[in-house]
Amino acid sequence: METHSQIVLASRPSGTPTSKNFRVETGPIPAAADGQVLLRTKYLSLDPYMRGRMNDAKSYATPVSIGGIMEGEVVAEVLKSKHPDYRQGDLVQGRIGWRTHAAVEPTDLKRVETGGNPVTTALGVLGMPGFTAYSGMKVIGQPKPGETVVVAAASGPVGSLVGQLAQLSGARAIGIAGGPEKCTYVRDELKFDAVIDHRADDMPEALAKSCPDGIDVYFENVGGPIWQAVLPLLNRYARIPACGLIAHYNGPGATEQDSLSSTMLAMVRRSLLMRGFINTEFVDDHYDDFMRDLSPLVASGRIRYREDIVDGLNNAPEAFIGMLSGRNFGKLLIRVS
């Protein structure tokens, strides 16, 4: 008999999460009540924001409770429907968390729509990461022809699209990635104008050399030493969309510099615009444009993307821990069924 599995938060991490912070629970598959649908998860998306959900701290979203199912968006198949708008076999996406099955009311579900692209793109280049890149660039970054755009984690699902969108706008795209393999991918497959290895000892000097006219847009999703290298190069009126700081999610490093004063002075002296954002702020005004603009570009191959797929829900904790240290290569997904 098929059983149901879910992964819950067993304890709150102190610093980098470990496998002991997670617990696998099993049991009978839930039954759909009237007005509900029974879902079987096909793919689970693993994303850096989940690290913040593990902390008991005030944020833009409620943290996961101890014993609660880990937060996450999935693509799932409807196994049984007791709701008039859905039928068996429909593919839907929604935030049902790290579990193989769920019986839920479909209030927060939507049908998977990828414009003919693979279903996994609904969680990546045509999903939350892609929309984060698109909306941050369109609303805040606003790159112009001839400008220089820099993005870290350039081989990842957000950074890879940021650079390609920059080039579509006529700007130069400079990517920062970790290690020769990822840098080669950014340069040779994504076709960025230049790529810098953040693990190299001369990273700040290499970045400055690749940006002889300074930086007009820096898409911030990492922080840490990369921000320290970017800050002196920002031009007057530069724009900084900030969607994440993965270098800081596990707490401050032993050698981490306090850059608050230097950042604030630069913002005043060079009239910099930095805005933090959550992609959901822009859904009402820009999501339809995102799907209309990006779906055909992905289908044609003009927008390129990479996925890192791990099999088995039980492998989600280790894959997630590895992602926080950059071990994944592309959009990280768990193939659940």
Residue 82's pLDDT band (boundaries 50, 70, 90)?
very high
pLDDT at 252: 62
User: Average pLDDT of 241-265?
Assistant: 77
Give residue for tokens 């002889």. Answer: 212
Share of the chain above pLDDT 90, in %: 89
pLDDT at 245: 85
pLDDT at 257: 64
Residue 19's pLDDT band (boundaries 50, 70, 90)?
very high
User: Average pLDDT of 102-119?
Assistant: 95
pTM recorded for the entire structure = 0.93
Find out whether 29 and 3 touch, Cβ atoms under 8 Å: yes
pLDDT at 249: 75
No. of H helices and E strands in the chain? Answer: 9, 15
pLDDT at 2: 79
* DSSP string for 91-125: EEEE---SBSEEEE-GGG-EE---TTS-GGGGGTT
pLDDT at 253: 54
Interacting residues of 108 by C-beta distance below 8 A, sequence separation 6+: 94, 95
User: What residue spans of the chain are helical by DSSP H?
Assistant: 49-53, 128-135, 157-168, 180-184, 203-210, 224-230, 260-269, 283-300, 316-324
According to DSSP, the β-strands at 331-335 and 307-311 are parallel
Q: Tell which wins on pLDDT, 62 or 77.
A: 77
Share of the chain above pLDDT 70, in %: 97
Residue 311's pLDDT band (boundaries 50, 70, 90)?
very high
- pLDDT, tens only, 35-76: 999 999 999 999 999 999 999 988 888 899 999 999 999 999
With a cut of 60, say whether residue 324 has pLDDT above it: yes
- pLDDT, tens only, 274-295: 999 999 999 999 999 999 999 9
Residue 254's pLDDT band (boundaries 50, 70, 90)?
very low
Using DSSP's 3-state secondary structure scheme, residue 252 falls into coil
With a cut of 80, say whether residue 176 has pLDDT above it: yes
Residue 1's pLDDT band (boundaries 50, 70, 90)?
low
